[in-house]
Chain A
Amino acid sequence: MNQYPMWKNLLVVMVVLLGALYALPNIYSQDPSMEISGTRRAKVDSSTLKRVEQTLKKADVAYKKVTLHKGKLLIRFKDSEQQLKAKELLAQRLGDDFNQALTLSPDLPDWLRGIGAEPMYLGLDLRGGIHVLIDVDMDAAVQQAMDRYSGDIRSLLRKHKLRYLRVSREGNQVMVKFKDAAKRDQAEDLIGSEFRTLVVEPLERADGYYVKATLNPAERHSVEKFALQQNITTLRNRVNALGVSEPLIQQQGERRIVVQLPGAQDPAKLKEILGATATLEYRLVDTEHSVEDAVNGRVPPGSKLYHERNGQPVLLKKQVIVTGNQITDASSGFDQRSGQPAVFVSLDGVGAKRMRHITTANVGKPMAVVFIENRTTTRKVGGKPVKHKVKVEEVISIANILEPFGRRFQTTGLDSPEEAHDLALLLRAGALAAPIEIIEERTIGPSLGQDNIDQGFESVVIGMALVVIFMALYYRIFGLVADAALLMNLILIVAILSLLQATLTLPGIAGIVLTVGMAVDANVLIFERIREEIANGSSPQASIQAGYEKAFSTIMDANITTLIAAVVLFSFGTGPIKGFAVTLAVGILTSMFTAIVGTRAVINWLYGRKRVTSLAI
């Protein structure tokens, strides 16, 4: 008895070796590095590599290595000081043509990389970075859709020469007003048959006969889904342009997006860009009517009152020439003549045609550029969250049309090169299909991240040390065996977490510490049982056998309950708590393995098939 079949012993050895192998990457240091990738305008190739090397050498920036792999350049630096110096340098040299991202790369030897071994994926609270939860304003998306339908309904009614009094959007519905019931009923049929996606109903109010149109549920769902998808794409474009590596942008639930940017250096800037809804609109200036009249309250139909950045009022035509939606590309720079910061804009086909048409007809007349931004905040009023929307519209430049232009032109009037750069980025990345609001944010600075790692590591080491010493004192040789199992356990947990690339967080490290304490439990159960059997008079070999057998079902039962708790935690938790649940669950499973199979193998090797009179337990 107490002899394991060969395959079981081999299994244990294999597991130990594999575990050690896949846990190994975590020992290697992480180099501060920079990743350079291409954009639509430029591809990364060996000439880029040479350019980069030359730039760095000339400025005396020390780097460890530059590699070109799968269309991306990876530059490794000795420390983060060199990394930041290089960032400034290369940003100037390469400009907007390439995407640059700062990151940390482990310094793994190639053979380790070959077997797919990687270090654990550190969570934001250990690495530093930003986590934001974004809520998409679905109502606004629906309202925008209804605005489009308003225009379509107007065209339809005009085409069929059906006279209406008014078409307007009220909330999520379009109301069409008619003089009498007959026209209204006709319109109801017409709109209903033309637009299958709308639910059309007749309605009567004190002031007239109405047709009410709303989106049918399927269409509404489709509009909301599209808004969400579009926003995800836009956010991804923005994030890529900002130079963050390994960003995570995902849908969460029906109307939320989660964005995680690890290692982000400038959280304030990132938040601004993420939530920015800044866009441009081009309109003609109304030169026929007086501005003072408008300011005093008499705004002529077909025009709207705006203000410039310095507060000066200006009257613009209501009709928009082009909006941000028609802008396909934008870059920032300086105006050739005045040296002012400028944004260079490219329009799509439709926009270009329209712009050419309007500018040709209005040479010599002034055109204004309007800067628009939407802001949403949520506050608690009387205990309930209430959304508060503010739309900012400023005229940033008025310039005379010198000659007709269409596809490409420039816009000045921006405060600084930085504003031009940001605006170009936003125009390039695309507009958000629906306004967004940041409803949750967790930002960890890199210094705190490092502190957390250090403290976490320290607690694991000290915790383990305490337990190891205690076990050795209390259970003697069996205690040492349990200690070896404990060590194995830790290595296995690290290996499994590395393989799964599960996120390690600070509570996750706490979870590891906890499982170190609990892992001992299984061993204690077995050893106490063995002691009991000895006290009852069984032979040493029989005691060992009985100890392991009888303890088995108890170990199973006891650990399963903690697993239930871990599963519940995993499903309800977010971020750091999920990390805790994962390490807890993994730790329990590995501790069961090492306690039952692992220590048994060692004990069998020590005592099996031998004549033993007493056990050192």
Chain B
Amino acid sequence: MQLFKKTSLDFMGARYKAVIFSATLILIALGSLATRGLTLGIDFTGGTLVEVGFSQPVDLVKVRNTLNAGGFKDVVVQHFGTSKDVLVRLAPREDMKSSVLSNRAFAAMQKVDPQAQLRRVEFVGPQVGDELTEDGGLAVLYALIGILIYVGLRFEYRFAIGSVIALIHDVIITLGVFSLFQVEFDLTVLAAILAVIGYSLNDTIVVFDRVRENFRKIRKGEPLEIINIAINQTLSRTLMTSLTTLLVLIALFVFGGEIIHGFALSLIVGIVIGTYSSIYVASTAAVMMGISKEDLMSVKKEGEGADTLP
């Protein structure tokens, strides 16, 4: 079975439309981030989280009232996964050590149902929250820099810049989706975004690899044409890989449970956008910076590596 016979779609011809489309998405994403912001998890904001599993479906109002009566005024209560599971967010309190806070809150909830089970507790102190935010931001930065250097060495600086632009485009739009739908953004989601950065680059490199090969092989032709051919040649592979990865991610999203939900969503969005950006954004950026055959040939002459032509 083969879905894609030899295609010769004029991808590059539609590049201006693609730029407009991408720009629109980015504007929407930035707009949402600026106005609605991200729902940050306690990993970044600090705070206490208690997840309790009740033996029966439980009414949130009842839980909230019981907690209020127990002296916990500032609480956010929501269901988590099923109507039997309740997630409670607590604000720090002056008269109680944070580590004791969760114990007392759970004891209060046991009044609603003595059979309630403590599923998990997460407490992040303010200084740790700050550190995780900083570390997270730095990690994304280092990853992008590392990739910039690597692609610059392997290919050519215009490609490197092109690929980093594509990655930043992917990250912003993914963040935008999380902001638009107010999905919680915690450490695992950030980890997923880093994985997307690494993965999305896969596609981009495969395309660039083919572009470089074609530049060398095809004697005459405008850069645009050559890039077009390269994209068409790799189209089948790009879409197939994305498809198989999406298949497993959907399995993860549906069956993996509530905790891994944000993580799976981040990967799914990232890969969908990443595939699109590998086809359009990276190459368009390179083209707009004026990539040509000579750029690739001269880089090679400076003794690049394994695959050299005489």
Contact = CB atoms under 8 A, between A and B. Distances in A.
A57 to B, nearest CB: 32
Contacts of A564: 143, 146-147, 150, 198
A459 B267 CA distance: 15
Nearest to A131: B122
Given A554-B205, A554-B206, A580-B191, A517 B127 contact: no
A446 to B, nearest CB: 9
B121 interface: yes
Interface stretch (B175-183, B251-259, B287-295): B251-259
B248 A385 contact: no
A17 interface: no
A267 to B, nearest CB: 7
B249 A514 contact: yes
A237 B201 CA distance: 49
A525 B128 contact: no
Given A271-B99, A517-B248, A568-B194, A379 B94 contact: yes
A275 B126 CA distance: 18
Interface in A568-585: 568-569, 571-573, 576-577, 580-581, 584
B264 A510 contact: yes
Contacts of B136: 572
Interface stretch (A21-29, A281-289, A467-475): A467-475
Nearest to A132: B99
Contact of A514 (B121, B125, B151, B195): B195
Contact of B120 (A442, A467, A563): A442
Given A459-B251, A462-B251, A471-B244, A267 B118 contact: yes
A443 B120 contact: yes
A458 B139 contact: no
Contacts of A572: 135-136, 138-139, 142
A452 B97 contact: no
Given A565-B143, A569-B191, A377 B126 contact: no
Interface in B39-57: 46, 51, 53
Nearest to A462: B251
B98 interface: yes
Contacts of B143: 564-565, 568
A45 to B, nearest CB: 39
B276 interface: no
A507 B263 contact: yes
A263 interface: no
B259 A506 contact: yes
A463 B251 contact: yes
Interface stretch (A183-191, A215-223, A401-409, A528-536): A528-536
Interface stretch (B21-29, B62-70, B233-241): B233-241
Given A275-B97, A441-B99, A474 B240 contact: yes
A553 interface: yes
Contacts of A235: none
Interface in A409-440: 437-440
Contact of B248 (A447, A514, A577): A514
A58 to B, nearest CB: 32
B220 interface: no
A159 interface: no
Contacts of A535: 6
A13 interface: no
Give the interface residue-count category, chain B. Answer: 35 or more
A440 B123 contact: yes
A299 B194 CA distance: 64
Contacts of B205: 554, 557-558, 561
A479 B220 CA distance: 37
A467 B125 contact: no
A585 to B, nearest CB: 10
A546 B196 CA distance: 30
Contacts of B199: 518, 562, 565
Interface string A550-562: 0001100111111
A441 B122 contact: yes
B244 A524 contact: yes
Interface residues of A, number: 83
Given A441-B122, A562-B198, A565-B195, A553 B257 contact: no
Contacts of B7: none
Contact of B100 (A271, A380, A458, A554): A271
A568 B100 CA distance: 34
A560 B198 CA distance: 9
A591 to B, nearest CB: 12
A466 interface: yes
B260 A447 contact: no
B245 interface: yes
Contacts of B306: 553
Contacts of B307: 553
A443 B103 CA distance: 11
A444 B237 contact: no
B165 interface: no
B119 A447 contact: yes
A558 B147 CA distance: 11
A525 B252 contact: no
Interface string B136-164: 10110011001100110010000000000
Contacts of B139: 568-569, 571-573
B133 to A, nearest CB: 12
Contacts of B102: 441, 443
Which of A513, A553, A566 has most chain B Cβ within 10 Å? A513
Contacts of A456: 256-257, 260
Nearest to A375: B97
Contacts of A467: 244, 247-248
A584 B263 CA distance: 14
A142 interface: no
B121 A388 contact: no
A500 B93 CA distance: 42
A451 B257 contact: yes
A466 B124 CA distance: 38
A438 B98 contact: yes
A282 B8 CA distance: 90
12 contacts: A267-B118, A268-B106, A385-B126, A442-B122, A448-B51, A455-B260, A459-B248, A459-B252, A561-B151, A564-B198, A576-B188, A580-B191
Interface of B: 1-3, 6, 46, 51, 53, 92, 94, 96-100, 102-103, 106, 117-128, 130, 135-136, 138-139, 142-143, 146-147, 150-151, 154, 187-188, 191, 194-195, 197-199, 201-203, 205-206, 209, 233, 236-237, 240-241, 243-249, 251-252, 254-257, 259-260, 263-264, 267, 306-307
Q: Identify the 8 closest CB pairs spanning chains A and B, nearest first.
A: A565-B198, A517-B245, A463-B248, A439-B125, A562-B198, A463-B251, A455-B257, A572-B139
Given A440-B125, A445-B120, A565-B143, 15 more contacts: A133-B128, A267-B118, A268-B106, A376-B97, A379-B92, A458-B255, A459-B248, A466-B247, A476-B1, A506-B259, A510-B256, A514-B245, A517-B245, A564-B143, A566-B198
